[in-house]
Amino acid sequence: MTGEATTYQRLREHLSYLGLTTAAENLSPELDRALKDKLSATQVLESLLEGEVVATKARRARGRLRVAHYPIVSEAAR
pLDDT digits (tens, 9 = 90+) for 30-55: 999 999 999 999 999 999 999 999 99
User: Considering the chain, what percentage of its residues have pLDDT values greater than 90?
Assistant: 69
Q: Would you say residue 11 has pLDDT above 80?
A: yes
Structure-derived torsion over alpha carbons of residues 63, 70, 74, 60, reported in degrees to the nearest 10 = -20
Contacts for 6 with CB less than 8 Å, ≥ 6 apart: none
Q: Between these two residues, 42 and 76, which has the higher pLDDT value?
A: 42
Contacts for 34 with CB less than 8 Å, ≥ 6 apart: 40, 41, 43, 44
- pLDDT band for position 70 (50/70/90)? confident
